[in-house]
Amino acid sequence: MKHPLISVCCITYNHQDYIEDCIRGFLKQELTYNVEFLIHDDASTDQTQSLIKSLVGNDPRFKLILREKNIKSTGKAIFPLLFKEAQGKYIAMCEGDDYWTDPLKLQKQVDFLEGNTNYAGVATNSKIIFESSGQSRLFKKIKSDIDLNINDFLKQRYFHTASFVLKKEFLKTIVFPKVLSGDRFLFLFIASKGTIRYLNDTTCVYRKNEGGISNKVTSSHMIADLNFINASNQFLNKNQILILKKFIYKTIFEYSHKIKLNHFIIVSIKLLLVSGFDYKTRRLLKKNFKKVEI
């Protein structure tokens, strides 16, 4: 196979009900560039691996890493492993329970980056589908193409991982901290390298299913995001760190379904100190105290 211009990194685990949509989203991409698809299955216990093999067949664009032993349970982050294997100038990502709906997704994004070399990455909108109810909504209600800089990512996430394409060259210096929100750290880091273009297209689906980590997360998971702050010191100034601290502390409360009492105390003190004991913070703490496990 010729050297790829873009590498697609896909991670899967027990995605037998979803992996066909994911891979068919890859297969229907209409590209004038060379592409490689790296699929890492972390020792699924269902039929995911056999489905991957049957769907991919002998397509030379696909490189399969099908584990016999689970490595995420050892604390290893899997996307960074695939980034090291990737040969392309650009990298796209998609987890096995999400999928791409636009056959021109990669073409449009790579075209943009090839024609605008001062940009660090390009993203699009996504449709969120809630598996339990069948309802859906857009990830963001943005009605035009916009440019995003590092300050935009200090308070919120503008796009889903499956919609993003970035320049691989910037991954040479990144050191991923042990955090739950690895994608958010990646977006912030890439934005520190240059502007990110947001295209007002909906190109993929983000599934919110009952088995996902977002529906099980507790403060024991979220507390790891405190490492996010220390790791960001390398590319943020003091004022940006202050804004980021407020955001991370709030997400620990808002995203956790259950909160340990000691985590509530520690993060409450941190949040009150950086927010100046304002009314919104006190109201947030009062609202989330009901999640505390005594």
The pLDDT score that the predictor gives to residue 132 is 84
What are residue 131's phi and psi, to 5 degrees? -60, -40
Is residue 40 domain-shared with residue 184, that is, in the same domain? yes
Query: Which one of 160, 189, 210 terminates a domain?
Result: 210
Q: What is the maximum alpha-carbon separation in the chain?
A: 61
Is residue 250 domain-shared with residue 200, that is, in the same domain? no
CA–CA distances in Å: residue 61 to residues 30, 58, 71: 14, 9, 25
| Residue of 82, 99, 73 lying closest to 19 (CA atoms) | 99
The pLDDT score that the predictor gives to residue 1 is 65
Is residue 51 domain-shared with residue 194, that is, in the same domain? yes
Domain of residue 274, residue span: 217-293
Query: Which one of 164, 185, 210 terminates a domain?
Result: 210
Is residue 206 domain-shared with residue 111, that is, in the same domain? yes
Beta strand pairing call for 99-100 and 6-12: unpaired
Q: How many domains is the chain partitioned into structurally?
A: 2
pLDDT confidence bin for 20, thresholds 50/70/90? very high
Is residue 152 domain-shared with residue 264, that is, in the same domain? no
CATH number reported for the structural domain that contains residue 25 in this entry: 3.90.550.10
Is residue 204 domain-shared with residue 235, that is, in the same domain? no
Is residue 150 domain-shared with residue 104, that is, in the same domain? yes
**Amino acid (1-letter code) at residue 123:** A
Percentage of residues of the chain with pLDDT beyond 90: 88
Is residue 115 domain-shared with residue 224, that is, in the same domain? no
Is residue 156 domain-shared with residue 106, that is, in the same domain? yes
| CA dist., res. 63 & res. 86, Å (int) | 10
DSSP-based three-state secondary structure for 244: helix
Is residue 225 domain-shared with residue 206, that is, in the same domain? no
Is residue 101 domain-shared with residue 75, that is, in the same domain? yes
Beta strand pairing call for 195-208 and 165-167: unpaired
**Does 1 fall in a domain?**
no
Q: Is the pLDDT of residue 250 over 90?
A: yes
Q: What is the rounded average pLDDT of the residues 37-66?
A: 97
Q: Is the pLDDT of residue 210 over 70?
A: no
Burial string for 53-77 (b: 16+ CB within 10 Å, else e) reads eebbeeeebbbeebeeeeeeeeeeb
Q: Is the pLDDT of residue 19 over 90?
A: yes
The upper half-sphere exposure of residue 235, i.e. CA atoms within 13 Å in the direction of its Cβ, equals 21
